Chains A and B, each alone.
Chain A
Amino acid sequence: DGGITQSPKYLFRKEGQNVTLSCEQNLNHDAMYWYRQDPGQGLRLIYYSQIVNDFQKGDIAEGYSVSREKKESFPLTVTSAQKNPTAFYLCASSIVPALASYGYTFGSGTRLTVV
């Protein structure tokens, strides 16, 4: 089945630790995105990547880092510098030339909790 897979589904982090959230897609999509979803604040863009080895900051990139070494993979690291990391994180992908026609495909999300 083609799709976009996020893992783990639930993640617990201690204060001061870095954690990495996985996002893999087998849709052959060019672009991948990371969003954070908080109640009442909608979807906020953290980082996005249009091609391999290139990525851009979104609206709330501070305290996060990403890499795009393969077309299929776009892992997100939540660093200890992120002051309020507890949230639901969504990964998405799209076909770049057809974004306006087809939009995004989303993963099922990772819920990160700082303990």
Chain B
Amino acid sequence: AQRVTQPEKLLSVFKGAPVELKCNYSYSGSPELFWYVQYSRQRLQLLLRHISRESIKGFTADLNKGETSFHLKKPFAQEEDSAMYYCALPPISGGSNYKLTFGKGTLLTVNP
């Protein structure tokens, strides 16, 4: 079964420090993972997709198939990065369930 694990419910860092939000997955095949972010009082929005290999707001995420991980990283955290972050996994290619599987989320707090 597909599963996404975000082992940290809460993560607190100081401004300017590196930050890494962990995401591990179980999946048959080569997944295209997502990171979503929810800032206070705002809607959940897509932060970045593995498929596009992009860097958004200084965040990057690399798929490590050996470790089945898709950790989100930023070298220098900013206070405005404080938010809830969710890792998400798409359905298996060729399957009939068109829905994402989400981790339980990590609440990041960046302290001044």
Contacts and interface: CB of A to CB of B under 8 A. Distances in A.
B16 to A, nearest CB: 28
Interface residues on A, range: 20 to 34
A25 B17 CA distance: 39
B32 interface: yes
A106 B84 CA distance: 15
Interface residues on B, range: 20 to 34
Contact of A99 (B44, B98, B104): B98
Interface stretch (A16-24, A36-44, A72-80): A36-44
A97 to B, nearest CB: 9
B34 A103 contact: yes
Given A42-B105, A43-B102, A94-B98, A101 B51 contact: yes
Interface in B86-110: 86, 88, 90-91, 93, 97-100, 102-105
10 contacts: A33-B99, A42-B103, A48-B98, A58-B99, A92-B44, A99-B98, A100-B91, A101-B32, A106-B44, A108-B43
